Structure 1
Amino acid sequence: MIKFKPRNRKTSMKKSCSSAHLQHSCDMIMGSFYLPKRTRKSRRCGQDAHFLCREKLTLGVADGVGGWLKKGIDSGKYSRELLKNSVAALDLENRGSANLRRVLEEAFCMTKSEGSSTPCIITLRDDDHDHEHCLNALNVGDSGFMLFRNNKCKFKSSSQQHRFNQPYQLGNFNYGDGPDIATEIVVPVESGDVVVAGTDGLLDNMFPYEIEEILSRTQDDKNVAKLAKTVAKYASYNATDRYSDSLFSRARKLAGNKPRLGGKIDDISVVVAKII
């Protein structure tokens, strides 16, 4: 995980189960959990990245596109550098009114690693003209988020795909997409709302109703780090279920490919935030 600290301090990165609590009029608590995938060739190979930015009410996830491994390139380096640069760009933004498009454009220009990534960055805003508080998100590709209210899914972001399993992606290559293609999303929020953000390892393997069931069984809904872990473990179980009628298998069929049951084995990054 990439942690945010003011500009004159060192920015640290680590894989963790973590939580953050903000003390402002417009607040949210955030927690995260990351499960790198296991393969036959390697015990663990993680290409996802994520961050929680305490001071700026902002979080982000990014999937390093796995296809680069065929060329000997670890796109996890790109996703980690992209989010590290996003955190640096956030340092210049005001809390509650961060300009995410400016943040992503600056981070994209600063990122020099090989590979590509599908980022989703979300901030809690308190300066919207139509709503007292809202989520402002910028999404590229098949990372994304869901918003839950009273344990029911009220919103789910859409995936950007060139074609099946080939998402829009930022990267340093000739046919890569630029940050200008990112979808901007504004969703009004209320106190008590829960945001679940993740990479495609989550979104390809879990239906919203499955997360609704987890939320309805959760007694301590302020322990968002534990909640993120529970969601990630559930997604991991679904990913390895060869008989699951998963979102990924349904998308495969809708795209005209040969039907095949089962989840999608992938890195799984989950960030859970609760509006308070």
Structure 2
Amino acid sequence: MVAAAAPILNVEMGSSYIPKDNPSKPLGEDAHFVISDKNTAGVADGVGGWALKGIDAGEYARDHMRNCVASVVGAEGIVYPKRVMTEAHSRTTAAGSSTACLISFDGWFLRAANLGDSGFMIFRGEKLVYRSPVQRRGFNCPYQMGTREQFDKPTVAWSGKIRMEAGDIIVVGTDGLLDNVFEREIVELLAAEVAETAVDLATMVAELAWYNSLDSVKDGPFAVEARKAGRSHCGGKIDDITVVVAKVTASSFSHG
């Protein structure tokens, strides 16, 4: 006797990174990882203010992401993003600080942890159905983790578990994406159905963010937030841009 087929979740993940043009920091200040066989990914954004002290915060972001990878690879069973973030933070020794956002799939659930103003969005049926909370103390002042005591600890990071559906698309990004692209612009890309793979879509979203960042006339999300905070800013915001896309599908298996 053959039991009814049970759907299982499949995830395809891809990424794109466009560092801003800075000859002294060709790697930029963002970092990320994608581990497909663990259905886990993360982004980090080194806080640029460290440049005033001669410190490349990208080193902290890259060190933290490397330590996240080590934690994920060593994990048995379910990957808990906040635990990974915490373990990686305890091992990170580079100077500087960064924000971070990690996602991992557990069956039909998305687990996530976010510290600061990186984050993720979930699109379903070409509509935004969820956006992760932003952690800021004020305009352009995100929560951030670092090696010094005054910085935030991963224990204060937002974490959550969200039910997925077949066809969902998750877009993860640093603020180089979120400060330059409105949600409706990503919906328009999804509606156009021109991206066949997760890598294709991540590349298209990153290129859109890059294009918008160079626009000195059309206001992006950062300019809108600046006005709300009584600040003056027009157009886009030039920044490092990191995008990770996860596409969720379903397949079936049967028990005999």
- Per the TM superposition, whether the score is higher than 0.5 is yes
Three-state SS of the structure 1 residue aligned to 2:74 is coil
The equivalent residue for 1:147 is 122
Match 2:52 to one of 70, 75, 79: 70
Match 2:134 to one of 152, 159, 173: 159
**Conservation of the 8 A alpha-carbon contact between 2:80 and 2:111:** no
- Aligned partners of 1:43, 1:172: CA distance in 2, in Å? 21
Query: How much has 1:220 moved relative to structure 2?
Result: 4.5
Match 2:9 to one of 5, 22, 26: 26
The equivalent residue for 1:178 is 153
Query: How much has 1:27 moved relative to structure 2?
Result: 2.0
**Conservation of the 8 A alpha-carbon contact between 1:56 and 1:94:** no
**Conservation of the 8 A alpha-carbon contact between 1:142 and 1:167:** yes
Give deviations 1:81-123, integer Å, cap 9, x for gaps.
101111111123234x212222111100000000111010001
- Aligned partners of 2:38, 2:169: CA distance in 1, in Å? 18
- Aligned partners of 2:123, 2:237: CA distance in 1, in Å? 24
Query: How much has 1:43 moved relative to structure 2?
Result: 8.0
Amino acid at match of 2:212: N
- Aligned partners of 2:214, 2:200: CA distance in 1, in Å? 22
The equivalent residue for 2:83 is 102
The equivalent residue for 1:201 is 176
Q: Which runs of 5+ in 2 are unaligned?
A: 1-6, 250-256
Three-state SS of the structure 2 residue aligned to 1:235 is helix
Aligned residues with identical type, % of pairs: 44
* Structure whose residues are more often helix by fraction: 2
Query: How much has 1:42 moved relative to structure 2?
Result: 4.6
Q: TM-score, normalised by structure 1?
A: 0.84
The equivalent residue for 2:3 is none
The equivalent residue for 2:207 is 233
**Conservation of the 8 A alpha-carbon contact between 1:117 and 1:170:** yes
**Conservation of the 8 A alpha-carbon contact between 1:143 and 1:198:** yes
Query: How much has 1:188 moved relative to structure 2?
Result: 1.4
Three-state SS of the structure 1 residue aligned to 2:37 is coil
- Aligned partners of 1:116, 1:134: CA distance in 2, in Å? 30
**Conservation of the 8 A alpha-carbon contact between 1:225 and 1:272:** yes
Q: Which runs of 5+ in 1 are unaligned?
A: 1-23, 127-132
Runs of 4+, deviation exceeding 3 Å: 41-45
Three-state SS of the structure 2 residue aligned to 1:184 is strand
**Conservation of the 8 A alpha-carbon contact between 1:38 and 1:45:** no
- Aligned partners of 2:174, 2:237: CA distance in 1, in Å? 12
The equivalent residue for 1:254 is 228
The equivalent residue for 2:216 is 242
The equivalent residue for 1:59 is 41
Amino acid at match of 1:191: A
Amino acid at match of 2:157: A
Three-state SS of the structure 2 residue aligned to 1:238 is helix
Q: TM-score, normalised by structure 2?
A: 0.90
Largest Rg, 1 or 2:
2
- Aligned partners of 1:183, 1:190: CA distance in 2, in Å? 22
